[in-house]
Structure 1
Amino acid sequence: MIGIVGIVVIFVMVFGGYLAAGGKMGIIMKSLPFEFTMIGGAAVGAFLISNDMSSVKHTLKDVGKVFKGPRWKPGDYRDLLCLLSELIRLARQNPVALEEHTEDPENSAIFMRYPRILADGEAVGLICDTLRSASMNYDDPHQVEEVLEKRMEANLHHALHSSHALQTMADGLPALGIVAAVLGVIKTMASIDQPPEILGKLIGGALVGTFLGVFLAYGIVGPFAARVKMVTEEDSHFHQLIREVLVANLHNHAANICIEVGRQNTPGHIRPSFNELEEALKQAKTKEAA
């Protein structure tokens, strides 16, 4: 919602200020379709040249983050801590019984109680791979933490490709606007014998290209890139929480201490309170017993 509000504010302030200063929209509206075709078409073409098809699809999908915001909400972090608590307690009480949950999480009674987490293959993979490795005696906390850190860095690097692609497009748009403006000047020079009022309109139309390139770069595409990056980095905290809890588990801390480590490493604005988490853990135990 805030993304839509931001776009509305940009258009109202820019074009509202222009009209309030006595500007006329006629010449902009007349030139806009042609200038947008040149600038937008060139930007899209350059984007396709510099990215493969999977990256193009990934970027188009990630544009939705501008309006949807982060995937993981505060309730999801609470549910994740509850899920990890159940799995850690089971791993310590009955390691053999844990195998059916880590080997086939899609049919696990524990994972199925948290469908949003189960739908994220990477989160489930991090949990299951780490617990499975611990059951095979690969349980050195420092080594496991390093492996998880490298894995998450690689995932984050891949996830941030969309924002980099959008930022590259934003960086090129002002130059493409100049290209369109130069073409407009060339068109104007071909009509140099026309009266001043006609030449003025032609020059004004050419300058629309420069305006449009800069406006799209710094008013639309650049902010889109920044927003996608911010949302992607915030969602990465979800996987970092998994690492913190499971590494604490490998240090043989008490289960409730492992969960508290995860809670305190959750960013403040989405961190569940101690009492809220305790109540959620009690409810999870009740469902498990049922």
Structure 2
Amino acid sequence: MDMVSLIGTILGFVVIILGTVLKGSTVAALWNPAAFVIVFFGTLAALLVQNQGKVLKHALKMMSMVYKPPRHQPGDLISRIIGWSEISRRQGLLGLEPQIEAESDSFISKGLQLLVDGGEPEAIRSVLEVDLQTREAVDLAGAKVYENAGIYSPTLGIIGAVMGLMAVMQNLADPSKLGHGIAAAFVATIYGVALANMFMLPMSARLKSLINKQSQMREILIEGLVSIAQGDNPRQIEARLQGYLP
């Protein structure tokens, strides 16, 4: 669990609630069913129009990455690659077969299988780079869903506020309803802006950062496997891969 992201999410809610109270309003004033429907379901409707179902489904699955991000340890991966290189030099490429069965990462197991099958270095690179680019494109499309939600929700908030003011204008003859009506109208704006700037846009940026790190790990793996296929010395491979480390 990434406690920093979790704390950030909780803090976002606390800031809105605490700010409302400090401004002299009440927590109950933040709840407005009509504004909720307009902003949240309106944003969802826009996303449904823009994206295919499989993209939205993948985006929902990716949300867990924000709070439970995959471990990115390039140093550990380099050590494993060096270990595979030493095994291949002692036992040949077929000695890596047990590593394939023990590997849970499908990208790594695919690369090792290509290596064991005796693929040419450039053929291995070509196949894995296509796989990398495809996975990266799919993940970025998922992250883009949250970015788009952050673009649409403030606009829906404004629409909700305008609709609320229209309702207020219809009750100008009753001054007792004006204050409450205007306050309720602007709740939609709060929903839209808060949803975008405290959650959706930061979540999109976080996912893009994780995707970039994941792609870097796969680039390290590709370079390592190609080096093993070329028969490079383990020390040469290590020196080359160390260049990926900050």
**TM-score under structure 1 normalisation?**
0.74
Count of paired positions:
244
Aligned to 1:62: 62
Deviates more, 1:200-209 or 1:226-235: 226-235
Q: What's the CA shift for 1:220?
A: 1.2
Instruction: Please give the per-residue CA displacement for 1:188-221, whole angstroms capped at 9, x wherever unaligned.
Output: 12212111x3111101111111121111111111
Instruction: Please give the per-residue CA displacement for 1:107-145, whole angstroms capped at 9, x wherever unaligned.
Output: x2x345xx5xx222122112322453xx25x235xx754
Aligned to 2:121: 139
Q: What's the CA shift for 1:73?
A: 4.3
Aligned to 1:119: 104
Q: How far apart, in 2, do the equivalents of 1:139 and 1:267 lie?
A: 23
Q: What's the CA shift for 1:11?
A: 2.4
2:157/2:191 contact within 8 Å kept: yes
SS at match of 1:63: helix
* Cα distance, 1:12–1:97 mapped onto 2, change above 3 Å: closer
1:27/1:201 contact within 8 Å kept: no
Q: How far apart, in 2, do the equivalents of 1:139 and 1:224 lie?
A: 38
* Cα distance, 1:121–1:58 mapped onto 2, change above 3 Å: same
1:84 aligns with 2:81: yes
1:90/1:97 contact within 8 Å kept: no
Aligned to 1:205: 184
SS at match of 2:45: helix
Q: What's the CA shift for 1:266?
A: 4.4
Aligned to 1:174: 154
Report the AA paired with residue 4 of structure 1.
L
Note the residue ranges of structure 2 that are not aligned, 5 or more in a row.
Answer: none
Residue 15 of structure 2, aligned match among 13, 16, 33: 13
1:241/1:266 contact within 8 Å kept: yes
1:72/1:235 contact within 8 Å kept: no
SS at match of 2:121: coil
Aligned to 2:136: 156
Report the AA paired with residue 67 of structure 1.
Y
Report the AA paired with residue 84 of structure 1.
I
Report the AA paired with residue 112 of structure 2.
I
Aligned to 2:223: 244
1:66/1:224 contact within 8 Å kept: yes
The CA RMSD measured in Å over matched residues stands at 2.5
Q: How far apart, in 2, do the equivalents of 1:186 and 1:228 lie?
A: 39
Q: What's the CA shift for 1:35?
A: 1.0
Q: How far apart, in 2, do the equivalents of 1:176 and 1:188 lie?
A: 18
Aligned to 1:274: none
SS at match of 2:21: helix
* Cα distance, 1:127–1:265 mapped onto 2, change above 3 Å: farther
1:72 aligns with 2:71: yes
Q: What's the CA shift for 1:91?
A: 3.4
SS at match of 1:238: helix
Aligned to 1:191: 171
2:111/2:124 contact within 8 Å kept: no
Note the residue ranges of structure 1 that are not aligned, 5 or more in a row.
Answer: 102-107, 269-290
**TM-score under structure 2 normalisation?**
0.86
SS at match of 2:220: helix
1:83/1:111 contact within 8 Å kept: no
Percent identity, please: 21
